[in-house]
C-alpha cells in the first residue's frame, strides 16, 4: 500500500508528469518519470506515484487486480526514486495476463531506462 503522501491524486499532477517527464515503455506497461525543478519546494518532497489502468486492460475486476499489483510493486521501489520525483505507471492490455514477477521485471527495466533519460536533462518548468 502506498502511503497517502506518496500518491499522485489530482489530474494536473498526472498531466504534468506525463507531459514533462521522461517515458519508457515495455510490453506490459509504460512509465513516465519527472523531477521537480531544483528551485521548486517540491524538489525536497518524497517521491510520488500514480497509476493509469484503462478499460482496455479488462473489466473492473481485472483492472483493480492490475492496479493492486502495480501499487505493491511501486511501493517497494519508492526508496530508489529520487527525492522530488513523480511517477505515472500506465498499464497496457497485456498486463492483465501478466504475473507479478513479469510486471516487476518490466517496471524495473522501464524505471532504469526513464532514470537514465532523466539524468541527461534539467527539468524544464
pLDDT in tens, 70-82: 999 999 999 999 8
Q: Is residue 99 part of a domain?
A: yes
Residue 3 has pLDDT above 90, yes or no: no
- Supply 91's cell numbers: 498499464
Mean pLDDT score across all residues of the chain: 90
Total count of domains within the chain: 1
pLDDT confidence of residue 125: 47
pLDDT, one tens digit per residue, over 71-124 is: 999 999 999 998 889 999 999 999 999 999 999 999 999 999 999 988 876 545
pLDDT confidence of residue 39: 56
pLDDT confidence of residue 75: 94
Q: Is residue 123 part of a domain?
A: no
Domain that residue 83 falls in: 9-118
Q: Is residue 22 part of a domain?
A: yes
Q: Is residue 84 part of a domain?
A: yes
Buried b (16+ CB within 10 A) or exposed e, 37-52: eeeeeeeeeebbbbbb
Nearest to 51 by CA among 26, 35, 72: 72
Mean pLDDT score, 27-44: 79
- Stated pTM of the model: 0.88
**DSSP of 70-94:** HHHHHHHHGGGSPTTEEEEEEE-GG
Q: Is residue 33 part of a domain?
A: yes
pLDDT confidence of residue 30: 97
Residue 41 has pLDDT above 80, yes or no: no
Q: Is residue 62 part of a domain?
A: yes
Amino acid at each position: 500500500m502506498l502511503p497517502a503522501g506518496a500518491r499522485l491524486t489530482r489530474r494536473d499532477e498526472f498531466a504534468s508528469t506525463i507531459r514533462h517527464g521522461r517515458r519508457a515503455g515495455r510490453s506490459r506497461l509504460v512509465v513516465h518519470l519527472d523531477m521537480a525543478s531544483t528551485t521548486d519546494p517540491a524538489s525536497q518532497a518524497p517521491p510520488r506515484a500514480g497509476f493509469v489502468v484503462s478499460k482496455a486492460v479488462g473489466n473492473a475486476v481485472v483492472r483493480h487486480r492490475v492496479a493492486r499489483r502495480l501499487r505493491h510493486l511501486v511501493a517497494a521501489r519508492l526508496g530508489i526514486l529520487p527525492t522530488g520525483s513523480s511517477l505515472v505507471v500506465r498499464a497496457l492490455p497485456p498486463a492483465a495476463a501478466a504475473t507479478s514477477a513479469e510486471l516487476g521485471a518490466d517496471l524495473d527495466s522501464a524505471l532504469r531506462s526513464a532514470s537514465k533519460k532523466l539524468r541527461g536533462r534539467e527539468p524544464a518548468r
